């Protein structure tokens, strides 16, 4: 088919996938997008011969080349996992180049297990806010590692992406409509702010974060809260590295406890490193380090089943951290902050680091908390301010102190 030139100034969707084994499906997706008036740039990630009725703008050979290999080498190796990894990497690099030249404004992919992996790996190169959708046979599986911290929309294909039928035609046409709608959706007006602040939160620190948000907005700042459930912390770290924020209120560092004890809310070892590495002003608190999160009660690891457990919700079981864990967590928290080249302060609420560890709460244990606090005191760099308050973390005076510390770092009048 003759190549249709890309029209400058018109929004373009990148359509990527394995056009070799999924040609019929992508032919239909291309026609659906065309009928919606969407301009399309196509990228083939399948290494075998394809029979499409649309022009392929970026053939598989180009994708492979970006991954420092060739189609012949990939075929000769005869290793499906290797092919999937290389084509995903090559596609991501090409997408970065397209974005740098403002050639695409959205992306859509579809496929089975391999095709989904390639599409999601490629979409890691696309910043948050640019629409990206994947119609997938494995959309209902846990793809958290593949999606990462990106705003990728996953759409279950119900049937395999293996030729058209009365179900796949409906879902492919709806996927086309979805990406078209996202591409052309009007964005609400956004009032200019003095700056943007990231804050970490949990159900157990909601009152604190809400008060911090109110105070910062009153000063003209935009505030983005991240739910510290693993992906929340990862996303916050990722956006800090992308330069989204002027300051950070990291008041809910609970993901460190989950990382230590194999909880379901771990954000990995890189948690609490981005602001430190970039020298961004930050105020840190040991919020919710009294707890580790698991799912239903029967999912708690056997080695912890004799520990103090609390059902926060039917599908959320909290475990109270013990003294040894708090000693490890205090050391980890301090050592991460110690590496900063920028302004930082540690803020400790001596009367409770969560709702449930405050007086009257099921995890109230001043002696255990004191192990955490003492470790932070002894490990924190001497030139980093350590502020201790005789309140719990959800007291309004704690929120006010946290905000004022950050405003001082930003050169503002508290």
pLDDT of residue 414: 76
Give the span between the Cα atoms of 372 and 402, in whole angstroms: 19
Helices (H), 203-313: 206-218, 231-241, 255-260, 274-278
Using the predicted structure, report yes or no on whether residue 218 has a pLDDT greater than 60.
yes
pLDDT digits (tens, 9 = 90+) for 97-120: 999 999 999 999 999 999 999 999
Bridge pairing between strands 309-313 and 316-320? antiparallel
Per the structure block, which two tokens stand in for 208? Answer: 């604190």
Per-domain residue ranges of the chain: 12-184, 196-409
The CATH class of 196-409 is alpha beta
Per the structure block, which two tokens stand in for 207? Answer: 């009152």
Give the span between the Cα atoms of 263 and 126, in whole angstroms: 29
Using the predicted structure, report yes or no on whether residue 6 has a pLDDT greater than 60.
no
Q: Phi, psi (5° rounding) for residue 106?
A: -165, 165
Using the predicted structure, report yes or no on whether residue 73 has a pLDDT greater than 70.
yes
Using the predicted structure, report yes or no on whether residue 315 has a pLDDT greater than 60.
yes
pLDDT digits (tens, 9 = 90+) for 130-155: 999 999 999 988 888 899 889 999 99
Q: Do the domains 12-184 and 196-409 sit in the same CATH topology, yes or no?
A: yes
Query: Which residues make beta-bridge pairs with 136?
Result: 111, 156
Give the span between the Cα atoms of 67 and 87, in whole angstroms: 7
pLDDT digits (tens, 9 = 90+) for 393-411: 999 999 999 999 999 999 9
Give the span between the Cα atoms of 16 and 318, in whole angstroms: 42
Fold of 12-184: Rossmann fold (3.40.50)
SS3 string, 105-150, reads CEEEEEECHHHHHHHHHHHCCCCCCCCEEEEECCCCCCCHHHHCCC
Per the structure block, which two tokens stand in for 336? Answer: 């991460």
pLDDT of residue 5: 54
What is the DSSP code string of 251-277? -B-THHHHHHTT-TT---TTTT-HHHH
Give the span between the Cα atoms of 282 and 343, in whole angstroms: 7
Using the predicted structure, report yes or no on whether residue 304 has a pLDDT greater than 70.
yes
Give the span between the Cα atoms of 250 and 268, in whole angstroms: 16
Assess contact for 165 and 190: CB atoms under 8 A. no
pLDDT of residue 3: 44
CA-nearest of 67, 69, 64, 43 to 55 is: 43
Bridge pairing between strands 291-294 and 316-320? antiparallel
Q: What is the DSSP letter of 354?
A: S
183-212 mean pLDDT: 89
Our CA angle for 371, 375, 381, nearest 5°, is: 160
Assess contact for 15 and 95: CB atoms under 8 A. no
pLDDT digits (tens, 9 = 90+) for 348-358: 999 999 999 99
Per the structure block, which two tokens stand in for 404? Answer: 């004022």
Torsion on CA atoms 218, 209, 388, 375, rounded to nearest 10: -140
pLDDT of residue 371: 98
SS3 content of the chain, % helix, strand, coil (to 5): 40, 20, 40
Q: Starting at the edge strand that comes first in sequence, how are the strands of the sheet with 39-44 ordered?
A: 39-44, 12-17, 106-111, 132-136, 153-156
Using the predicted structure, report yes or no on whether residue 191 has a pLDDT greater than 80.
no
Q: Which of these ranges, 185-189, 201-205, 252-256, 279-283, has the smallest mean pLDDT?
A: 185-189
Assess contact for 350 and 373: CB atoms under 8 A. yes
Give the span between the Cα atoms of 339 and 381, in whole angstroms: 9
pTM check: above 0.85: no
């Amino acid at each position: 088919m003759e190549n249709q030139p890309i029209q400058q100034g018109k929004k373009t969707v990148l359509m990527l996938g394995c056009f070799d084994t999924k040609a019929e499906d992508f032919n239909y997706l291309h026609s659906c997008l065309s009928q919606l008036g969407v301009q399309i740039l196509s990228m083939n990630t399948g290494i075998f011969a394809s029979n499409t009725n649309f022009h392929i703008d970026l053939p598989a050979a180009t994708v492979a080349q970006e991954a420092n290999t060739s189609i012949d080498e990939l075929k000769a190796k005869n290793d499906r996992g290797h092919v999937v990894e290389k084509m995903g990497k090559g596609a991501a690099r090409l997408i970065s180049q397209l974005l740098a030249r403002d050639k695409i404004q959205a992306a859509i992919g579809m496929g089975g297990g391999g095709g989904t992996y390639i599409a999601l790996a490629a979409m890691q190169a696309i910043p948050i806010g640019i629409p990206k959708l994947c119609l997938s046979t494995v959309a209902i599986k846990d793809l958290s590692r593949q999606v990462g911290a990106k705003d990728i929309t996953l759409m279950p294909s119900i049937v395999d992406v293996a030729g058209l039928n009365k179900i796949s035609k409906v879902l492919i046409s709806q996927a086309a409509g979805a990406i078209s709608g996202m591409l052309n959706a009007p964005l609400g007006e956004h009032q200019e702010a003095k700056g943007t602040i990231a804050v970490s939160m949990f159900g157990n620190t909601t009152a604190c974060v809400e008060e911090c948000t109110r105070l910062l907005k009153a000063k003209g700042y935009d505030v983005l809260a991240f739910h510290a459930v693993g992906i929340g912390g990862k996303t916050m770290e990722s956006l800090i590295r992308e330069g989204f924020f002027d300051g950070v209120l990291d008041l809910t560092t609970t993901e460190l406890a989950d990382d230590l004890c194999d909880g379901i809310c771990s954000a990995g070892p890189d948690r609490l490193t981005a602001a430190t590495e970039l020298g961004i002003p930050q105020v840190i608190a040991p919020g919710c380090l009294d707890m580790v999160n698991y799912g239903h009660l029967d999912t708690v690891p056997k080695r912890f089943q004799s520990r103090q457990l609390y059902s926060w919700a039917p599908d959320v079981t909290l475990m109270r951290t013990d003294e040894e864990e708090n000693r490890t967590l205090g050391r980890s928290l301090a050592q991460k902050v110690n590496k900063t080249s920028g302004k930082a302060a540690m803020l400790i609420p001596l009367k409770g680091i969560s709702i449930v560890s405050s007086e009257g709460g099921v995890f109230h244990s001043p002696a255990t908390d004191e192990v955490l606090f003492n470790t932070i005191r002894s490990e924190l760099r001497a030139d980093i301010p350590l502020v201790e308050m005789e309140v719990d973390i959800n007291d309004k005076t704690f929120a006010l102190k946290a905000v004022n510390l950050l405003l001082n770092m930003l050169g503002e009048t508290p």
